[in-house]
């Protein structure tokens, strides 16, 4: 237990007292007092010589007085320069200077030859400064030293003047004044210390709130832009992403440092200003209509409109933003950018929910008679087989009078009934999948790791070639992503087999701006131009064996995950493109 006690006592002794001003204020007041000391010493030395020259009968200053004043001027200049240059041990420097002031003033008071009220009054400045700049214990020592020197000087002259104690009472009164000035200065200094602490606490709270606000604005999914005096003064990361403007990593100060120098702050402000200037330049080049609309809104008036994003060549998609311009009290404007894809995804979820409730009940009602029809067609087909190929033990019984043509025709009709019931059953299965879908359970997916495992599980033995040009991460429901890719790859393999004897599908994964692109390519004939408007409509199909719900379900799943599925007609191959926002938006090829 003894080492623990010693450790606690060491911590207690090393903890600095909290009854003094903070270092920045201490340095400022210390420089003021050091300048005052140098001015007083220089003025005292000049006044002594000026007074001696003006009064021809007066004697020149004594050697002790000249030496003391010269030494005081030199030390005052040295202390001022040292305190200005050296930022360490400021309180020790001030304590040494104040003790020197008391000693020099006592020597000047002694060399004056008689009690000097003007020199005695200078002690009060020293006492007041000691309680303002030093710890209370140090200031009390300086005050007691001044009292001792003053009383000793008065007592010494009283003895030298044949025990005349006329001025001794004045010395005692002056000493009491020192204590009063010291107490008043200490009270004022404590009030200043408390005010500085409150101000520092408020400054830290404001800085903390500013950091929180910056983090909240940075993490917002909506874009935020602040325009003041026709210049952009703030733009969050979402604004860069929604407008497809490259975002450079911003300069940040280290969070481990408790304090940052003004140079660090100036460097951070300069980097932020340069980044905002670059963003404003890019916005003027790529979205001049949006910037012009934001600048031309009259002060005090709000405006909301829909802005069509220009097409990006390598993405081939048009997007829309809801732009809301809100005037602020200081004359600046707040511009909010909202991606309408999220709103469309929510609408799609509501549509799927309402459609699912309807289709689920209809599908169950259709499935029961459909099962009966399918079973009956199978039984009829078995009867036809028995008639055409009777068992051996029944060869003696007379065969029914059916012609071969009649039996073959009925068998074909039964096969048609059975195949069509199977097709209707597939449609019902797809509708039930649609109705059973809950809200997307999104989770991060590293495509470079997830995609090879997916292809190994579902398309082993097929010619599906994967090319990954980057290492992106998207947020998607894994089950829904599997269903989308299975449908697209199966379509590609099927349509590629129609045009080539060897069916194959290519998958390319890359990044464009802040989106991850997954291209499903095949060598088929593509989609005819007049079919493009109906491509993602439910029950639309160009394949007689298809149900017409595969692409519709795939697009619904993509929209539920804030992604897009589209057909790219200008691609040299048949290309279906899945576009999803990247989680690590700064990952590029």
Question: Exposed, middle or buried, 290 (CB in 10 Å: 0-12/13-18/19+)?
Answer: buried
Look at residues 81, 77, 79, 72 and name the one whose alpha carbon lies nearest to residue 44.
72
Domains and CATH numbers, the chain: 2-198 (no CATH), 218-250+265-341 (3.30.450.20), 344-436 (no CATH), 443-581 (3.30.565.10)
Cβ pair 146, 100 in contact under 8 A: no
Residues in the chain: 589
Residues β-bridged to residue 488: none
Measured CA to CA, the distance from residue 180 to residue 186 in angstroms comes to: 10
Find tokens 């549509």 and name the residue: 351
In terms of Cα–Cα distance, which of 156, 189, 177 is closest to 19? 189
Burial of residue 325 (number of CB atoms within 10 Å: 0-12, 13-18, 19+):
buried
Angle formed at CA 440 by CA 439 and CA 446, multiple of 5 degrees: 170
H or E element, residue 586:
none
Question: What CA–CA distance (Å, rounded) separates 210 from 197?
Answer: 19
Question: pLDDT by residue for the chain (589 residues), tens digit each?
Answer: 444 444 333 333 433 445 567 787 788 888 888 898 888 888 888 887 777 666 555 555 677 777 888 888 898 889 888 888 888 888 888 888 888 888 888 887 777 655 566 777 787 888 888 888 888 788 888 888 887 777 776 665 555 554 455 556 666 777 777 777 777 877 777 787 788 788 888 888 888 888 888 888 877 878 888 888 888 888 888 888 888 787 766 544 444 444 455 565 566 667 778 888 888 888 888 888 888 888 888 777 788 888 887 765 444 445 788 888 888 887 888 898 888 776 766 666 666 666 666 666 666 667 666 777 777 777 776 766 666 666 555 555 555 555 556 566 666 767 777 777 776 777 677 666 655 655 678 899 999 899 999 998 888 888 899 998 888 889 998 888 998 999 899 888 888 877 677 888 999 999 887 789 999 998 888 888 888 877 877 777 776 666 677 788 888 888 888 888 888 888 888 899 999 888 854 333 3
Q: What is the pLDDT of residue 5?
A: 40
CB atoms within 10 A of CB 574: 22
Calpha distance 236→223 (Å, rounded): 6
């Amino acid at each position: 237990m003894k080492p623990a006690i010693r450790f606690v006592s060491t911590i207690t002794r090393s903890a600095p007292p909290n009854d003094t001003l903070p270092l920045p204020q201490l340095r400022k007041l210390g420089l003021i007092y050091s300048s005052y000391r140098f001015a007083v010493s220089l003025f005292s030395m000049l006044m002594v010589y000026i007074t001696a020259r003006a009064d021809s009968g007066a004697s020149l200053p004594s050697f002790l007085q000249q030496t003391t004043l010269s030494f005081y001027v030199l030390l005052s200049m040295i202390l001022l320069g040292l305190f200005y240059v050296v930022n360490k041990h400021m309180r020790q420097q001030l304590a040494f200077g104040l003790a020197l002031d008391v000693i020099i003033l006592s020597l000047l008071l002694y060399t004056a030859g008689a009690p000097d009220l003007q020199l005695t009054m200078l002690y009060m400045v020293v006492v007041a400064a000691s309680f303002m700049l030093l710890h209370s214990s140090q200031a009390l020592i300086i005050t007691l030293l001044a009292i001792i020197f003053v009383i000793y000087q008065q007592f010494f002259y009283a003895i030298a003047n044949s025990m005349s104690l006329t001025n001794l009472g004045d010395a005692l009164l002056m000493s009491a004044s020192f204590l009063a000035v010291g107490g008043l200065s200490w009270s004022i200094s404590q009030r200043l210390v408390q005010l500085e602490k409150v101000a520092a606490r408020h400054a830290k709270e404001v800085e903390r709130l500013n950091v929180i606000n910056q983090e909240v604005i940075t993490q917002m999914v909506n874009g935020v832009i602040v325009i003041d005096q026709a210049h952009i003064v703030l733009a969050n990361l979402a604004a860069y992403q929604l407008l497809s403007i490259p975002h450079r990593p911003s300069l940040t100060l280290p969070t481990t440092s408790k304090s940052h120098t003004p140079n660090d702050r100036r460097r951070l402000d300069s980097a932020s200003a340069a980044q905002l200037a670059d963003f404003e330049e890019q916005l003027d080049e790529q979205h001049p209509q949006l910037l012009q609309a934001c600048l031309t809104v009259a002060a005090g008036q709000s405006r909301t409109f829909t802005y069509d994003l220009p097409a990006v060549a390598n993405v081939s998609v048009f997007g829309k933003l809801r732009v809301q311009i809100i005037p602020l009290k200081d004359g600046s404007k707040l511009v909010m950018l909202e991606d309408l894809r999220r709103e469309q995804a929510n609408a799609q979820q509501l549509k799927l929910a309402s459609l699912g409730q309807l289709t689920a009940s209809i599908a169950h009602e259709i499935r029961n008679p459909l099962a009966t029809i399918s079973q009956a067609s199978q039984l009829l087909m078995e009867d036809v087989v028995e008639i055409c190929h009777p068992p051996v033990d029944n060869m003696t019984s007379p065969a029914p009078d059916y012609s071969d043509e009649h039996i073959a025709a009925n068998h074909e009709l039964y096969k048609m009934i059975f195949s069509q019931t199977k097709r209707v059953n597939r449609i019902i299965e797809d509708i039930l999948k649609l109705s059973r879908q809950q809200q997307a359970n999104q989770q991060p997916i590293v495509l470079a790791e997830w995609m090879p495992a997916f292809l190994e599980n579902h398309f082993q033995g097929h010619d599906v070639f994967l090319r990954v040009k980057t290492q992106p991460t998207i947020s998607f429901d894994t089950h829904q992503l599997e269903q989308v890719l299975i449908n697209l790859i199966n379509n590609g393999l099927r349509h590629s087999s129609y045009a080539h004897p060897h069916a194959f599908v290519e998958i390319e994964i890359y990044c464009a701006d802040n989106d991850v692109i997954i291209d499903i390519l095949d060598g088929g004939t593509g989609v005819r131009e007049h079919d493009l408007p109906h491509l993602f409509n439910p029950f639309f199909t160009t394949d007689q064996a298809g149900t017409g719900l595969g692409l519709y379900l795939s697009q619904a799943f993509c929209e539920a995950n804030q992604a897009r599925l589209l057909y790219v007609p200008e691609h040299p191959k048949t290309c279906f493109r899945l576009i999803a926002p990247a989680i690590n938006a700064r990952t590029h090829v």
